[in-house]
Amino acid sequence: MVTTNYSIEDILARQRQYFSSGLTKPLDFRCQQLQKLKLAIVSRQDKILKALKEDLGKPELEGCFELAVLQDISHAIKNLPQWMKPRKVKTGIETFPSNARIYPEPLGVVLIIAPWNYPFSLMISPLIGAIASGNCAMVKPSELAPHTSQLLRELIEDTFSPEYISIQEGGVEISQKLLSLKFDHIFFTGGTQIGKIVMGAAAQNLTPVTLELGGKSPCIVDKETNLKETAKRITWGKFINAGQTCIAPDYILVDNIIKQDLILALKQCIRDFFGENPAQSPDFARIINIRQFERLRGLLTSGDVIIGGDSNPDTKYIAPTMLDNVSLDSPVMAEEIFGPILPILEYQSLDEAITFVNSKPKPLALYFFSHNKEKQQRILKETSSGGLSFNETIMHVGVTELPFGGVGDSGIGAYHGKASFDVFTHYKSVLSRPFWGDLNWRYAPYTENTVKLFKQMFAKS
């Protein structure tokens, strides 16, 4: 393991020097580093799953979902030659003869700040993009997931030299220190309020940001749906990782005609998934810390508990819970829940549901369950969200070629697949002309005929 006594400022300076050497830019280097990262993860799979279990009580299968970053690495290695190619674009008659190309180039030294809910994958995933794009990177894992943070430190320091990829552990003071420094890009995943702080700090250095935030992702259930499959997919999407997922269904809006039928189906799915006593289930995670536990426990009074409601501070357990008769101004509807509590609201018409969703900040995800294609098109065209899924929850995040990100309060920018390469890349526009063929039309003194010619030419374009 590589250890240093350098300050963060010293490491940043060394990374800038290393980037300036040009060593990170060749295709072979980028692919080699991605392969090293892949091998480092593969060799630590059991350790990763153990750390996630210790931090969040994640069942082994849910921990495996974080290992999907291995597929992202393979995808990047396979596609990098094409991504890195300059792209030729057309030029107009006003620059004839000439050629124009767009050259992808790395930004420089980037900062990645990861959250605690998926503490491994949400640090490694953007790092894949940073490496693929030819950058140096400084990464900050969440201190709220200490076992995973320690494992990430071991992985990064055993795999990369600190002047190339450096990891900084610590709490708020380390984050504040990092944000006070000048990076070429900041990639932050976390809550909206902290995202505002990150963006404000970045503005002091005119540093561009990618903010992967969250919000209250609605789940609309139309009366024209398959209730059994709908309930199964909502239950899984809501209660995976004990609801601590930024794109988990935050609340349900269900057609009042099928509300009671949906509630019965959801209750049955909860029992099928976790048994009569979910506290004893090996397949249900725990809340990250006592602070989040107490916040969530306070939300249980926002409506009538129709299933669940149990909690245990000693194990940070909150049961899979559904709430009915929830007031729109109750605490559970005022903030992102980020836990295993699911309010059930009803609507009389799809117009009412769409109006309600549009009255709120734009969510990171929106889910709509319906057989009706016309209604699906209405949701597509009349709402705005970072991502949209029909008859499914969560799974769109696993489609590599779908950019993942928010809009408005739910985030700025997107990543995954080619989008991850784009995040950490500057596309430089380059025009090239020979010295011959200059018709001298643009040089003073200007003539009336030239002005007339250009007016006509632009009018016809």
* SS3 letters across 104-137: EEECCEEEEECCCCCCCHHHHHHHHHHHHCCCEE
**Nearest to residue 262, comparing CAs of 289, 237, 231?**
231
pLDDT (average), residues 77-88: 98
User: How high is the mean pLDDT of the chain?
Assistant: 96
Give ranges for CATH 3.40.309.10 in the chain: 218-400
* Superfamily of domain 8-213+413-426 in the CATH hierarchy: Aldehyde Dehydrogenase; Chain A, domain 1 (3.40.605.10)
In whole angstroms, give the CA distance from residue 327 to residue 331.
9
Question: What pLDDT shows up at residue 442?
Answer: 87
Q: Is residue 288 within 8 Å of 144, Cβ to Cβ? A: yes
Q: Tell me if residue 64 is catalytic.
A: no
Q: Which of 226-235, 324-333, 342-351, 442-451 has the lowest mean pLDDT?
A: 442-451
Compute the average pLDDT of residues 210-225: 97
Instruction: Tell me: pLDDT of 4 over 70.
Output: no
The CATH 3.40.605.10 portion of the chain extends over: 8-213+413-426
Q: How far apart are CA 65 and CA 150, in angstroms?
A: 20
Which residue among the candidates 246, 269, 336, 346 is catalytic per the annotation?
246
Of 247, 182, 207, 199, the residue nearest 424 (C-alpha): 207
246 is catalytic: yes
Instruction: For strands 404-405 and 414-415, give the pairing.
Output: antiparallel
Given the structure tokens 């990543």, which residue do they identify?
415
Helix (H) or strand (E) segment spanning residue 449: helix 448-460
pLDDT the model gives residue 1: 41
pLDDT (mean) for 198-224: 97
Does residue 44 surpass a pLDDT of 80? yes
What is the reported pLDDT for 3? 45
Number of Cβ atoms within 10 Å of the Cβ of 245: 23
Phi/psi for 128 (5° steps) reads -55, -45
Per-residue tokens: 141: 């894992």
| Alpha-carbon distances of 213 from 295, 299, 317, 393, rounded to whole Å | 19, 21, 25, 18
> What does 374-409 look like in DSSP terms, one character per residue?
HHHHHHHHH---SEEEES-SSGGGG-TTS-EE--GG
Architecture label for domain 218-400: 3-Layer(aba) Sandwich (3.40)
Tell me how far apart the terminal alpha carbons of the chain are, to the nearest angstrom.
62
Give yes or no for residue 97 having a pLDDT over 50: yes
Which range among 7-16, 155-164, 352-361, 452-461 shows the weakest confidence by mean pLDDT?
452-461
Selected catalytic residue, list 66, 163, 212, 346: 212
- Residue 39 DSSP one-character state: H
| Interior/surface letters 22-44, b for 16+ CB within 10 angstroms, e for the rest | eebeeeeebbebbeebbebbeeb
Phi, psi of 248, rounded to the nearest 5 degrees = -65, 145
Mean pLDDT of 269-276: 97
pLDDT, mean of residues 83-103: 94
Q: Give the residue among 460, 436, 428, 423 at the shortest CA–CA distance from 186.
A: 423
CB burial of residue 182 (10 Å; 0-12, 13-18, 19+): middle
- Rounded to whole angstroms, how far apart are CA atoms 241 and 237? 9
pLDDT at 6: 83
Pick the closest to residue 219 from 333, 368, 358 (CA basis).
368
Are 299 and 331 contacting, i.e. CB atoms less than 8 angstroms apart? yes
Site of tokens 């549901």: 353
